[in-house]
Amino acid sequence: MKTKVGIQELLPGLWIWCARHPFWTKDDDYPQVVASTFVESGGERILIDPIAPSLDCIGLWDRLDSRPPTMAVVTMPDHVRDIDMFFAQHSVEAYGPMFFFRDQVPDTDLKPVTAGTELPGRLMPLYDARGRAETPIYFPEHRTIVFGDALTEHGGELRVWDSPWHKEREIPALREMLILPFERVIVSHFTDSPIHSRSDFEKALTLPPFRWNSR
């Protein structure tokens, strides 16, 4: 069953919302609906890669207003998206990559996220070795890892997105994550569902890399 736009509860203090990307075109190498994450951890209320809905998730703003986020994290330069809107709405403390694409530099001052350095809320940025400045985020309290683009889902199957360093760097870096006691994975880009299990992750490491043009 395909995940539709809207809010989905996962655990107490952990939920996602799925919304249509406002700048998506049919030429993009990802589906139009993308996932964002909200987690309460270590006394913080945190947005991960937040994207603002228009007609999607019409109850999102009311929900966030009732328990305002204190922090936001952008996992990679491609996902700056609506961070300025969320900062203006809630004055969150914002974290993100040190470098951005020229046409996507946010007005919000993002504190740098570095793999291996703990963030407020006891969040752990991880190293994915793809060379795209992505830092997946691990939530120890919820045993969950959120990925930007390193993993995706297509046709119900979790896959590792291809990179020039797939075998030499990316797969070894992802295997290192197996030392963490995580139970679920959340991905931003998907066709059926953004939520996957640890066993799905383990299987993904054995599959050929995912290339959107070849599926």
**Is 197 part of a structural domain of the chain?**
yes
**Distance, CA of 169 to CA of 58 (rounded, Å):** 41
pLDDT mean across residues, the chain: 88
**Is 79 part of a structural domain of the chain?**
yes
**Is 210 part of a structural domain of the chain?**
no
**Is 172 part of a structural domain of the chain?**
yes
Structural domains counted in the chain? 1
Contacts of 137 (CB under 8 A, 6+ apart): 48, 73, 75, 119, 123, 124, 125, 126, 145, 146
pLDDT at 197 (0 to 100) = 97
pTM of the full structure:
0.92
**Is 211 part of a structural domain of the chain?**
no
Residues of the chain with pLDDT under 50: 1, 215
CA proximity to 12, closest of 67, 60, 51, 49: 67
**Distance, CA of 145 to CA of 66 (rounded, Å):** 25
**Is 178 part of a structural domain of the chain?**
yes
Pairing of strands 124-125, 137-139: antiparallel
Question: What CATH number has the domain bearing residue 176?
Answer: 3.60.15.10
Tokens of 137: 């985020």
**Is 41 part of a structural domain of the chain?**
yes
User: Structural domain of residue 59, as residue ranges?
Assistant: 6-204
**Is 89 part of a structural domain of the chain?**
yes
